[in-house]
Amino acid sequence: MTHSDLLDRYAQLIVRSGVNIKPGQELVMTAPVDAIPLVRLITEHAYKAGASLVTTLYGDDSATLARFKHAPDASFDKATGWLFDGMANAFKAGAARLAIIGDDPSLLAGQDTDKVARANRARSKAYRPALELITSFSVNWSLAAAATPAWARSVFPDKKPEAALDALWQAIFSCSRADTPDPVAAWAEHSRNLRQRTDFLNARRYSALKYKGPGTDFTLGLVDGHVWKGGGSLAQNGVTCNPNIPTEEVFTMPHKDRVDGTVSATKPLSYQGTFIDGIRVRFEKGRIVEAHADKGGDVFANMIGTDEGAARLGEVALVPHSSPIAKSGIVFNNTLFDENAASHIAVGQSYSDTVANGTSLGKEALAKAGANQSLIHVDWMIGSAALDIDGVHADGTAEPLMRKGEWAA
């Protein structure tokens, strides 16, 4: 099968199984300029599926870099609030959301970390109204990837540029099941398998998870009434979507005040154009009280200092070490893929649909239940073939849940 054939099938998969656009629905898409060939195919298939209007907003790494090199200092406290307000209004009116990612993972590595932090904070504040609609699953949404030259270079630095780009596309197609005979059917089966795992976890009603591995020894309390999710999710508008293409995780809501112990990352984190590696933190009563990173420590400190909730957890996810993405042996330098190669946690905003009746609760009720609130939501990987996890019941009894990175139950 040619690259063009696979790209077309991938676009169909994103439209039909990812965002799952419905007749008469608008689609708001964001993408890097290098993703134009994929975006055009997605647009075509979205209209074929009945989309009433497809609007794409493009990002350009070169333009972003120009800002950091030449813009006045005051620029870094500004963000396009008018644009994000417009996106929030579109979601309130029923538009679906699709983000195509593929930015250079180290675009801002050489830039002033204070400017990076200020720009990220300003953007996070401006984006909050739209983010809340996404995290509450008000509408169907999805996140997928496009291979770009800069991203490919970071993943395959020893390959020539053309070969690196081709290798990254092949990895995306494989991890996304776009290279199977019927990708849509493959995704339906995959979602059913993930649902079996979430059904098991929801039946166990653990009150906490206890982690033990190299550099990791901590207990993570779960909110009462937590709900494990994975694969396809039903949005409040009645549309089932797959928020992440690809995905191998099952996830739920940790209690923002019930996390204690030390955690070490097992993969680097690419965050807003910078690399953070060697993350080690210590939690007390849910909050990070000590933090270190071998690389990008200033950026990590600024990230978890965004607001009060940025130093607390909003998500916990379990992924077996034998997931297809882990088996590929590729470190993608991209959270969408790397988080599906390893169990992970996320600092910042909780997803309200991971607690019973969460989408109908207000902010105060969610906070009282233990949900975290923040301007950010950032996943980082802590799983490995050496990680053990126990499920802890309310009476304190524990049972093996994962051993050496694999399901034990």
Q: How far apart are CA 359 and CA 369, in angstroms?
A: 13
What pairs with residue 276 in β-bridges? 269
∠ Cα 369 261 284 (to 5°) = 55
- Nearest to 171, CA basis, from 388, 406, 292, 340: 340
Q: Which fold has domain 3-175?
A: Thermophilic metalloprotease-like (3.40.1830)
What pairs with residue 144 in β-bridges? 100
Query: Tens of pLDDT along 124-141?
Result: 999 999 998 998 889 999
Residue 271 has pLDDT above 90, yes or no: no
What pairs with residue 281 in β-bridges? 263, 291
Within 10 angstroms of residue 193's Cβ, the number of other Cβ atoms is: 11
Q: How far apart are CA 172 and CA 167, in angstroms?
A: 9
Which pLDDT belongs to residue 300?
A: 95
Which pLDDT belongs to residue 274?
A: 84
Tokens representing residue 59 in the block: 């990002």
Residue 357 has pLDDT above 90, yes or no: no
Looking at every residue in the chain, the average pLDDT score rounds to 95
Domain ranges (residues) in the chain: 3-175, 184-407
pTM as predicted: 0.89
Which pLDDT belongs to residue 363?
A: 87
Q: How far apart are CA 250 and CA 328, in angstroms?
A: 20
Which pLDDT belongs to residue 361?
A: 83
Q: How far apart are CA 87 and CA 30, in angstroms?
A: 11
Which pLDDT belongs to residue 275?
A: 86
Query: Tens of pLDDT along 370-404?
Result: 999 998 999 999 999 999 999 999 999 999 999 99
Going by pLDDT thresholds of 50, 70 and 90, the confidence category of residue 405 is very high
Contacts with 134 (C-beta within 8 Å, 6 or more apart), sequence order:
91, 97, 141
